[in-house]
Amino acid sequence: MLAHNQQTIYGTTIVAIREGNKVVMAGDGQVTLGVQVMKGKAKKIRRIGNGKVLAGFAGATADAFALLERLEAKLDQYPSQLARACVEMAKDWRTDKYLRRLEAMMIVADTQKTFLMSGNGDVIEPDEDVISIGSGGGFALAAARGMLSVSDKKRDIEDIAKRSLEIAADLCIYTNNQIVIETLS
């Protein structure tokens, strides 16, 4: 519980869509402190692991950066083994006194796998080709799944990711339409 004079940073919608060995991750740029927009063009998606892994984060920014650094160290320790790096990172995140206080979630993906990671020790590989996190994550997930279900074989997953974020921005007050898209293939 926060004291009355503390405010929580809210916001972020991240969506990842996979089609074969191609993965697209999109995120909005809004950072909100209480009822005020503090920044509109934040970049919440990073390339790590020598550019071979996309990582998108939601939650406390400093916490997310600390976790990204730790995950990058695990990727250095276990090159080309995203699943193992994520599991080892999740173990540390859950058991380390400092790390377990960090409040963030991440989606990480390479050309083979996509995972959602949380401080509860979760490393979840989605059943579907789309996953999302953040305040507008449910909206983006529903929009992307809907578009994927009606799209033909020539669908453009970059466009689907962008449109799903635009829909989330229309519905979630903590999500804006300053969208960053990264692709690995």
In angstroms, the CA 167 to CA 42 distance is: 19
Which residue is catalytic, options 8, 12, 61, 175? 12
The CA-based dihedral angle spanning residues 112, 182, 14, 121, taken in that order and rounded to the nearest 10 degrees: 40
Residues 173/15, Cβ–Cβ less than 8 Å: no
The pair of three-digit structure tokens given for residue 126, joined into one six-digit string:
């989605």
Residues 162, 167: Cα–Cα separation, whole Å: 9
User: Is 12 assigned a catalytic role?
Assistant: yes
- Cα of 154 vs its chain's centroid, Å: 25
Q: Which residues are catalytic?
A: 12
